[in-house]
Structure 1
Amino acid sequence: MTHTARAAEAALPKLEPGPHTRRLGLISVVACLGGLLFGYDTGVANGAEGPMAQDLGLDLLQLGLVIASLSFAAAVGAFVGGKVSDAIGRRRAIIVLAVLFFVGVLLVVFSPGGGGNFSPVGFTMLLAGRIVLGLAVGGASTVVPVFLAELAPYEIRGSITGRNELAIVSGQLAAFVVNAVIATIFGSEGHVWRFMFAVCALPAAFLFFGMVRMPESPRWLVENGRPEEGLKVLETVRSEGRANAELEQVEIIAEEESQAKVGFRALLSNKWLVRIVAVGAGLSMIQQLTGINSIMYFGARVLEQSGMTAEQAVLANISFGVVAVVGGIIALRNMDRIDRRKTFLIGLSLTTTFHLLVGAASIMFPEGNPARPFVVLVLVVGFVFSMQSFLNIAVWVWLAEIFPLHMRGLGFGIAALCGWAMGGVLALFVPTLISSIGITGTFFMFAVIGVGAVLFVWRLVPETRGRSLEALEMDVTTGAINTITRGQRTHAS
């Protein structure tokens, strides 16, 4: 079967530009509104959490729970979202997510209470809103990359799928800018945090109405016995000859797997599938263990700990969003030029180096030194830039590529669940961690983890760049893809 898939891959007509290219671009822009919402809802807390805690009378543990609840709910949303998208389709799943984004915003914005007095009802409603937003964020993190990967030609799949991650960091930058503007105009007290959260209701509405007009994934349609509809979709995003050739390739794989087990049965009955899901879960957790979301959630708090005032920290926080977007653009340019494994190794080496430098700088420039906050800011900016240029986009693209079609939603969901759960643990304890062991201990801890992450990628993560999803599927199912971790590429690129 592996030979059949590779032969079909080699026989595909050359990718050509045309109206179908513009159509694919439009679909990716609409779908990536899910990534924009993902980014805004994770980034808005960075700057809103201080005024929110003050207004609602939250202590550090309650604040940590509110922030972390999004990540824990995202873990559930990622897992459930993957299974739901396998059952009802990628497009319908994204429409459901748009509704969840909108409802979650309403719950947060209209949570009762304020004036510094703690309200159990307001806290419960706020927590419920963050949980709903987390379900939507987790679902978007799973469904949108898979939707884009299944629509994109394999030659440019990395850059098309990677647009979602660029949308995520753009959403985070938008949150930082909106927070700074609102705080500057209205101050940082009272109900100002509600305005910060309310802004993301607008893209949620655009996502809903936009996806109503978008097509379903052609690969999902074929998998579910609707090849004619799948061909019609392919003909809108490919040239005619390429559309027919790809449909034939997808049908070959679908027919070979028509009698195969699905879901957990498929996973547990094949040791190679168990292995690749475990590797995917490990890579997803590594992405969180770099501490990137700790910066995106609590960057202002880190800068205040380094010596900045609250006002300076909110403004300086924008720099994290700017370099994240610049790094995302660089990553997209390199996504289909540099192997995924090489990208991971470069990124982890750089982020670990910056962890060490931040820890060392906080020792060399003790509290009270006027240079301390600015040195820490420059080094954290370098960390965020490295993370976005080499890791974040590449990890999500790799996860969208590596799992077989009949369990892609499940496999991606399990990996994303593990990653979000790890992110939730960090979000829950990072405020306390920074307060107890300071910047020095926190960043040295991340550096130690980074060394282990480099070894994990070097030994276990296989290459996926330049392969069709069908050929990858055959190699993953038979274990042939594991030879790539030993440097034996199974394709010419």
Structure 2
Amino acid sequence: MSTKTPVSSEKDETTIADTVRQRIFLVVLVATMGALAFGYDTGIISGALPYMTSPPDQGGLGLNSFTEGLVASSLVFGAAIGSFLSGFFSDRFGRRITLRSLAVLFVLGSLGTALAPSVPVMVAMRFLLGIAVGGGSSTVPVFIAEIAGPRLRAPLVSRNELMIVTGQLIAYVASTLLSYLLHDELLWRYMLAIAMVPGLLLFIGTFFVPASPHWLVAEGRLKEAKKILKYLRETPREVRHEMAEMKRQAKAAEHGPSAMTLIREKWVIRLMIIGAGLGFVIQFTGVNGFMYYTPIILKSTGMGTSASIAATIGNGVVSVIASIAGIWAVSRFARRKMLITGLSFVITAQILLGAVLTFLPSNLTQSYLALACILMFLFFMQMFVAPVYWLLMSELFPMQLRGVLTGAAVSLQWIFNAVVAFGFPPVMEYAGSTTFFIFAVINVGSLFFVVSMLPETRGKSLEEIEAHMKEKFGEKSQTADAN
């Protein structure tokens, strides 16, 4: 009997572990429906824009280079507002309620863009959709990080990026299939209407997932938080340890400085600067210039419209493969090392693309080499840079201000995204292939920023990260440095 009991116990522990992982997986799957909608909405515009440039009497909206950039970037400006406001909303009402509200905006915005009769209405509806996209982009990583626990945080938060690029891949495949199978002047409206699906799934799913235990503890709802942790953790020891850390943190916040005082402390300001800087880093790689305008880049080499749209499937496939590799990598390598490696290859790809477009004649060879450079760029961007950015956004900021500061940092990221989205078509029109050399120079500056400013967060709980940041960048640390 003594030999059977450990085996039975081991089987029970394995069963509990599998059950808990399935529960957490379900929560992450629901939350990342917001990321899927985010990816689809940002990806589908590259397939819809070429058809929207047709005159109104041919089913389009008669877009020119200015209104093209306006339609693409209006979602991004909305996302900047949405991510900022959702930070306050999620801290006040909780992450789950925030996601449910954003799901309603996803559906309304998608329907509005599909039915838009004119450019002003399209811009307004894309802006509304952007509020949902931005809100989801700041709320989803935080919600997952608070649900997952220290051991699973890195790979599970990185699934947010995987779902973003999966949404973009679905958008590229859908736009390609529709462009080849349907010869309808209203084709672009069908492309945009499909975006309602992940929004509906997110809305329904939020009724089947728990609230964030971290947020509940911060609100003083300890019994509810403990009940959720028991549901989401494998052992009572994990529950006790996390509850103790969260209660200690909540008590420190209660007896410590107020939110308005805390936000003015030097260590928090330093983290805000890092968060804002990382937003610049990820967007001024030029990633969304490729995501939104790859068909336009390839058309400049002589490739046809349908073939250019079809080529974006390569963008989506490479991004998904790279994101899966990124999920594996973030659990094994330091955040700083991944960002430095990724940016180094991004710079190389930008230089190569600029050279291909500058020195080769416009023909099929140039088209395929340009696409190869774009795919190389996207692989290293989506494996090494993007997942680390979203992971850091869920880790860097103190619990007392996590929703607000994450929202503010992601909001700035969306503003940088808007600058790239709005500026890319006219800059390409004016500077041509030199555009990519400009991006390469900017990315050298980004690489220097990461090397000189970014702290390491790997291997720490959210509470340990907060204590580490306060010690590293706080008043005592700066006084010691001065001495």
Decide which of 189, 194, 219 is 1:194's aligned counterpart. 189
Decide which of 233, 236, 243 is 1:238's aligned counterpart. 233
Q: Distance in 1 between matches of 2:258 and 2:141?
A: 21
Deviation at 1:261, TM superposition (A): 3.9
1:74 corresponds to:
79
Q: Distance in 2 between matches of 1:363 and 1:302?
A: 13
Deviation at 1:259, TM superposition (A): 2.9
1:373 aligns with 2:367: yes
> Would the aligned equivalents of 2:270 and 2:473 in 1 still touch at CA under 8 Å?
no
Deviation at 1:225, TM superposition (A): 0.6
1:454 aligns with 2:450: no
Q: Distance in 1 between matches of 2:268 and 2:474?
A: 11
> Would the aligned equivalents of 1:344 and 1:391 in 2 still touch at CA under 8 Å?
yes
2:468 corresponds to:
475
Within-5 A mapping of 1:173-192: 173-187=169-183, 190-192=185-187
Amino acid at match of 1:462: P
Amino acid at match of 2:145: A
Decide which of 388, 396, 399 is 1:394's aligned counterpart. 388
Deviation at 1:260, TM superposition (A): 3.2
Amino acid at match of 2:70: L
Q: Distance in 2 between matches of 1:56 and 1:276?
A: 43
Say if 1:20 and 1:344 are closer, same or farther in 2 by CA, change over 3 A. Answer: same
Deviation at 1:263, TM superposition (A): 4.1
Deviations 1:255-300 (A, max 9, x none): 11113344444211x1110011111110111100000011111111
Q: Distance in 2 between matches of 1:49 and 1:364?
A: 28
Decide which of 445, 456, 469 is 1:463's aligned counterpart. 456
Q: Distance in 2 between matches of 1:61 and 1:362?
A: 23
Deviation at 1:408, TM superposition (A): 0.6
Decide which of 52, 58, 61 is 2:66's aligned counterpart. 61
Decide which of 271, 281, 285 is 1:276's aligned counterpart. 271
Deviates more, 1:287-296 or 1:18-27: 18-27
1:489 corresponds to:
none
Deviates more, 1:343-352 or 1:58-67: 58-67
Question: How many percent of aligned residue pairs carry the same amino acid?
Answer: 37
Deviation at 1:382, TM superposition (A): 0.4
2:12 corresponds to:
none
> Would the aligned equivalents of 2:50 and 2:305 in 1 still touch at CA under 8 Å?
no
> Would the aligned equivalents of 2:267 and 2:474 in 1 still touch at CA under 8 Å?
no
Say if 1:370 and 1:111 are closer, same or farther in 2 by CA, change over 3 A. Answer: closer
- Matched residue of 1:243: which SS? helix
1:406 corresponds to:
400
1:328 aligns with 2:323: yes
Q: Distance in 1 between matches of 2:314 and 2:25?
A: 28
Give TM-score scaled by structure 2 length. 0.92
Say if 1:264 and 1:447 are closer, same or farther in 2 by CA, change over 3 A. Answer: farther
Deviations 1:116-159 (A, max 9, x none): xxxxxx22221111011100010011000000001112122110
1:445 corresponds to:
438
2:91 corresponds to:
86
- Matched residue of 2:206: which SS? helix
- Matched residue of 2:331: which SS? coil
Root-mean-square deviation (Å): 1.6
Decide which of 274, 285, 292 is 2:287's aligned counterpart. 292
> Would the aligned equivalents of 1:472 and 1:481 in 2 still touch at CA under 8 Å?
no
Decide which of 135, 139, 154 is 2:135's aligned counterpart. 139
1:105 corresponds to:
110
1:348 corresponds to:
343
- Matched residue of 1:324: which SS? helix
Say if 1:404 and 1:202 are closer, same or farther in 2 by CA, change over 3 A. Answer: same
Q: Distance in 1 between matches of 2:462 and 2:101?
A: 26
Deviations 1:190-230 (A, max 9, x none): 21100001111111111101111211000000001101111
1:49 corresponds to:
49
Say if 1:301 and 1:257 are closer, same or farther in 2 by CA, change over 3 A. Answer: same
Amino acid at match of 1:429: G
- Matched residue of 1:290: which SS? coil
2:150 corresponds to:
154
> Would the aligned equivalents of 2:292 and 2:421 in 1 still touch at CA under 8 Å?
yes
Say if 1:49 and 1:82 are closer, same or farther in 2 by CA, change over 3 A. Answer: same
Say if 1:266 and 1:483 are closer, same or farther in 2 by CA, change over 3 A. Answer: closer
> Would the aligned equivalents of 1:222 and 1:250 in 2 still touch at CA under 8 Å?
yes
Structure 1 gaps, min length 5: 1-15, 113-121, 485-493
Amino acid at match of 1:409: G
Q: Distance in 1 between matches of 2:332 and 2:17?
A: 19
Q: Distance in 1 between matches of 2:386 and 2:283?
A: 10
Deviations 1:6-56 (A, max 9, x none): xxxxxxxxxx82311110011001111000000000001011011122111
Q: Distance in 2 between matches of 1:46 and 1:420?
A: 18
Q: Distance in 2 between matches of 1:203 and 1:311?
A: 26
Deviation at 1:480, TM superposition (A): 5.3
Structure 2 gaps, min length 5: 1-15, 55-59, 478-483
Deviation at 1:306, TM superposition (A): 2.3
Q: Distance in 2 between matches of 1:74 and 1:261?
A: 31
Amino acid at match of 1:373: S
1:308 aligns with 2:303: yes
Q: Distance in 1 between matches of 2:78 and 2:17?
A: 41
Deviation at 1:467, TM superposition (A): 0.3
Amino acid at match of 1:383: F
Say if 1:423 and 1:483 are closer, same or farther in 2 by CA, change over 3 A. Answer: farther
> Would the aligned equivalents of 2:109 and 2:129 in 1 still touch at CA under 8 Å?
yes
Q: Distance in 2 between matches of 1:36 and 1:431?
A: 26
Amino acid at match of 1:306: T
2:332 corresponds to:
337
Say if 1:331 and 1:191 are closer, same or farther in 2 by CA, change over 3 A. Answer: same
Aligned residues: 456
